[in-house]
């Protein structure tokens, strides 16, 4: 296999794609080993580096896609601003190395707990530049907050895992850092109480910016609710939330637990992990199904986004044997297809070599649209082929 390609600018990126003799494996920092990693020569955006423009007063930052998330966060912090969608760092949970980049975050549409309040990575992308599978350099969107000029290919590119084009530059909306934050923990007994508690919190006018579940050392289930803003406002909202959520269980204010919810360090030892997105109340159906399938073995579960995001995991013992694990995977994607939503295999030692769809299979008409779109953006089928299957 030829050496990895590291284009230094868009012209080199375009040339690399035009010259490609076969499939290319597109990557940023290579920290998100999700989906079926394609064969072929590696093409990394890691050398397309640098913040191109940063206007704090306009809440706008434009950067090349190889720029590390850490560098962006540092630049923003100097102006007391942040990436509001708080992208997950997958390295800990997946056990990968490398440096997470802006391109990787956008290509995988990676968001964290605050997604429930402010939106996903895709909602903060104002504009993109990319090179498609024919080597064409293309732009869409811009660097302003509101833009409906032509089709919104920015959304299409976000979350396309490098299969439509290789992102070279992204314009982002950023937000001010909140003066302070506070987290309320509610000790609950059952999953249905947890979901009801999160729904109740998100149904208040108190601008909840995080609603997830946690396990304490003794295995007890808890709901955590985050509010952010100015000190006086936080005090008021915490008091109100405590009063309204006390019926679900004992409440206490705890120190910032959100890094663990976002990056899942406790999930690093697990063999197999799925990420599931459903209507929050449907999470209970999925949990019931998992309890049935794993009744003698157990499984791990954490809810985020009020229940709309589920993390499900099996350790090596719980994953048992290959047929049992395939059965869980198939049942999960089948149930989610019925409920509406998606289940993605994030990692698995036991399943990694199996011929199973890592991403949720699409309905027939959506699959048709998807295939035809890919054909327009990448007629030779060389960009991360099969990555999203």
Q: How far is the CB of 246 from other proteins (least distance, A)?
A: 19
Coil, strand or helix: which one is 343?
A: strand
Which of 22, 50, 95, 203 binds other proteins (CB under 8 A)? It is 203
Q: Which residues contact 286 (CB under 8 A, 6 or more apart)?
A: 276, 278, 310, 312, 332, 335, 336, 339
- Output 152 or 260, the one with its CB closest to other proteins: 152
Span 224-243, contacts to other proteins by CB under 8 A:
229-230, 232-233, 236
Q: Please tell me whether residue 285 binds other proteins under the rule CB under 8 A.
A: no
CA 257-259-262 angle, 5° bins: 115
CA end-to-end distance (rounded Å), the chain: 24
Which of 52, 71, 370, 380 binds other proteins (CB under 8 A)? It is 370
Q: Please tell me whether residue 42 binds other proteins under the rule CB under 8 A.
A: no
Which of 15, 51, 175, 268 binds other proteins (CB under 8 A)? It is 175
Please give the size of the binding site for other proteins, defined by CB under 8 A: 85
CA distance 68 to 56: 19
Near other proteins by CB under 8 A, which window of 5-13, 86-94, 130-138, 181-189? Answer: 130-138
Which of 9, 39, 179, 216 binds other proteins (CB under 8 A)? It is 179
Q: How far is the CB of 175 from other proteins (least distance, A)?
A: 7
Per DSSP (E only), the strands in the chain are 24-27, 41-44, 51-55, 60-64, 81-82, 125-132, 137-141, 165-173, 175-176, 180-188, 208-215, 221-229, 251-254, 272-278, 300-304, 309-314, 341-348
Assigned token pair, 220: 């007890």
CA distance 137 to 197: 48
CA distances from 265 to 89, 91, 185, 194, 213 (A): 10, 9, 20, 22, 15
Which of 4, 50, 95, 176 binds other proteins (CB under 8 A)? It is 176
Assigned token pair, 89: 């760092």
CB 64 within 8 A of CB 49: yes
Q: Please tell me whether residue 115 binds other proteins under the rule CB under 8 A.
A: yes
CA 269 vs. chain centroid, Å, equals: 20
- Output 98 or 142, the one with its CB closest to other proteins: 142
CB 263 within 8 A of CB 92: yes
- Output 281 or 352, the one with its CB closest to other proteins: 281
Q: Please tell me whether residue 271 binds other proteins under the rule CB under 8 A.
A: no
> H helices within 112-181, ranges in order?
115-118, 121-124, 153-157
Near other proteins by CB under 8 A, which window of 66-74, 213-221, 250-258, 303-311? Answer: 303-311
Near other proteins by CB under 8 A, which window of 160-168, 212-220, 241-249, 262-270? Answer: 160-168
Which of 120, 194, 319, 346 binds other proteins (CB under 8 A)? It is 120
* Residue position matching structure tokens 């157990």: 298
Which of 37, 75, 138, 266 binds other proteins (CB under 8 A)? It is 138
Q: Please tell me whether residue 360 binds other proteins under the rule CB under 8 A.
A: yes
Q: How far is the CB of 158 from other proteins (least distance, A)?
A: 6
Which of 10, 12, 71, 123 binds other proteins (CB under 8 A)? It is 123
Span 67-86, contacts to other proteins by CB under 8 A:
79-80
How many Å is the Cα radius of gyration of the chain?
21
User: What mask of x and - would describe binding to other proteins in positions 319 to 358, judged by CB under 8 A?
Assistant: ---------------------xxxxx--------------
Which of 41, 277, 285, 294 binds other proteins (CB under 8 A)? It is 277
7-24: burial string, b at 16+ Cβ within 10 Å, e else: beebeebbebbeebeebb
Q: Please tell me whether residue 6 binds other proteins under the rule CB under 8 A.
A: no
Strand partners, 43: 5, 26
Q: How far is the CB of 58 from other proteins (least distance, A)?
A: 4
CA distance 178 to 233: 11
Q: Please tell me whether residue 58 binds other proteins under the rule CB under 8 A.
A: yes
Q: How far is the CB of 202 from other proteins (least distance, A)?
A: 6
Q: How far is the CB of 88 from other proteins (least distance, A)?
A: 13
């Amino acid at each position: 296999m030829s050496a990895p390609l590291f284009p230094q600018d868009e012209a080199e990126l375009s040339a690399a794609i035009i010259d490609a003799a076969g499939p290319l494996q597109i990557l940023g920092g290579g920290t998100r080993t999700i989906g079926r990693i394609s064969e072929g020569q590696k093409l990394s955006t890691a050398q397309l580096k640098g913040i191109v423009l940063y206007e704090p007063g306009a809440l706008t930052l434009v950067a090349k896609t190889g720029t590390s998330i850490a560098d962006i966060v540092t630049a923003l912090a100097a102006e007391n601003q942040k990436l509001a969608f708080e992208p997950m760092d997958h390295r800990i949970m997946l056990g990968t190395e490398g440096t997470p980049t802006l391109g990787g975050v956008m290509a995988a549409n990676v968001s964290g707990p605050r997604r429930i309040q402010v939106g996903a990575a895709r909602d903060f992308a104002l504009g993109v530049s990319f090179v498609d599978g024919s080597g064409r350099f293309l732009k869409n969107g811009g660097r302003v907050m509101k833009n409906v000029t032509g089709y919104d290919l920015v959304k299409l590119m976000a979350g396309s895992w490098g299969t439509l084009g290789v992102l070279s530059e992204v314009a982002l909306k950023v937000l001010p850092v909140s003066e302070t934050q506070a987290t309320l923990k509610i000790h609950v007994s059952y999953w249905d109480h947890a979901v009801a508690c999160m729904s109740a919190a998100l149904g208040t006018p108190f601008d909840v910016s995080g609603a997830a579940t946690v396990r304490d050392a003794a295995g007890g289930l808890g709901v955590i609710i985050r509010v952010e803003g100015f000190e006086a406002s936080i005090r008021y909202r915490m008091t109100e939330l405590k009063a309204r959520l006390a019926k679900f269980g004992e409440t206490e204010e705890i120190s910032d637990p959100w890094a663990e919810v976002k990056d899942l360090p406790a999930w690093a030892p697990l063999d197999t992990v799925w990420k599931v997105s459903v209507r929050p109340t449907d999470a209970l159906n999925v949990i019931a199904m998992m309890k049935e399938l794993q009744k003698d073995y157990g499984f791990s579960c954490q809810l985020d986004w009020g229940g709309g995001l589920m993390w499900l995991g099996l350790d090596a013992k719980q994953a048992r044997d290959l047929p049992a694990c395939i059965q869980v995977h198939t049942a999960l994607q089948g149930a989610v297809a019925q409920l509406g939503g998606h289940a993605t295999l994030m990692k698995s030692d036991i399943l990694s070599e199996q011929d199973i769809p890592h991403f949720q299979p699409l309905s027939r008409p959506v699959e048709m649209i998807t295939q035809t779109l890919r054909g327009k953006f990448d007629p030779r089928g060389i960009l991360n082929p099969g990555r999203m299957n």
